[in-house]
Structure 1
Amino acid sequence: MTRHDKFEEASLPLFPEDILDPDEAPSTPLSGPRLPSYIKDHRTRLRQRFRDGGADAMPDYELLELVLFRSIPRQDVKPLARRLLDCFGDIGRVVAAQPERLAQVRGVGEAVITDLKILEAAAHRMARAKVMQRHVISSWEALLDYCHTSMAHRQTEQFRILFLDRKNRLIADEEQAEGTVDHVPVYPREVVKRALEHNACALILVHNHPSGDPSPSQSDIEMTDRIHRALHPLGIALHDHLIIGSSAELSFRSEGLL
């Protein structure tokens, strides 16, 4: 990153109304205490449109601009928003991208990475709060939303276990393993061990396919069968195995694979 490419970063409130001149500057850093009114008007218009119509009123790059306003208070952030979307595809993948990948995008520094990761963590917490300690069957759509929020945009495979009590309430959710773009190592013995430690009566397995296609591989089917057979003698049910794709999911139970 050259000196001219680097953005000046600082942490500010997302909608700073009373802070001196937090509004958008041209791509060249400005000197002086005030910014041109047309620059301020752009940020004001975007904020007002968001307040009036919410996220549905804005394309991805403008929503991303709103986030970047906080991270980069005195730069034109539209070019950076577009670069991020060009690199990762959509705002979900931008927010879920690994910090190392984000840092490779020209103009991204620590403030941008931190704010994007805060946004990701908040989204995960909100989705998780809707399913914890709730009956899984009656909260199935919320559970799927949580899985998609947590895993659909990851660039590597992740294997998670959802632990249920005897009333099928979610009592714990753990990442068991993380792998490559098309493989994640899973060991039935470790799955059984964690189920016993949580005193779980049932499990739901979840993993993602970074390719976006939730179709199970033969190794997915064989691994699920090994875990199922390891749990059965202990009286622990395997309710389902969900594979999360970019815009859809596959249920082993619904497909007759379990």
Structure 2
Amino acid sequence: MSNGDIFVGEVIGTAILILFGAGVCAAVTLKYSKAKASGWIVIAFGWGFGVLAGAYTAAPLSGGHLNPAVTLGIAVDTGKWDKVWVYLCGQMVGAMLGAVLAYLVYLAQFNANVSAPARTPETSTEESAAPAADAGGPVPTLGIFSTIPEIRNPVANLITEIIATIGLVLPVLAFGLTEGLGESGMTVLLVSLVVVGIGLSLGGPTGYAINPARDLGPRIVHQFLPIPNKGTSDWGYALVPVVGPLIGGALAGLIYNAAF
């Protein structure tokens, strides 16, 4: 695969992932959305379907990593580092593009978010689960784009992200050992189901970033989007969903290399 193919594939695939993922969070969260208050199960499946659509689309060009933690885990396992920077650049650009697209889809709903001062993650942890707004007040919007812990404890939050990311990257690596999965296209489907499972099982404490680009790219976009009463972008927490998944991805690569 050429650098150009990898970059384009990761931009397109990650943009689709974030479009679906941020889109389902917006659908469940924002006022005047037909999916308002549908709940956590809807969010978990929306993100899983985002992985499914994005990875299948990107696979012919880049292999469909869509996640720096996956790229890092593969590099640690194989020792091949020369393309890592291309993957990471494509993933970050794609994540920001997907966040902008999700914003445009729900533009009218975001613009309706004007009726009272927004809450912040420091004063309310409800945003992390992307709930509906209180009656008469604006919806906190960061949880649509990035993760916020339900209990703000950096050490505990970091541990959660590390373990959850190992739970993603180890199966991704192991699926490569199963003969015929890659040729049949089943690997992408299985990974998307793993993501749904992680959301349902391990996503409650932090909102399961498990992907540095998925959290950081949309957080940057949230900082600059002209969303009325959008609230803080919470940069004080931003390192946890970046560092945790990177540690988890690297550990998964080491574990896989040693055990298999």
Q: Fold match, TM over 0.5? A: no
Per the shorter chain, which TM-score range?
A: under 0.3
Higher Cα radius of gyration:
1
Give the alignment's TM-score, normalised by structure 2. 0.27
Structure whose residues are more often strand by fraction: 1
- Where relative contact order (Cα < 8 A, 6+ residues apart) is larger, the structure is 2
Give the alignment's TM-score, normalised by structure 1. 0.27
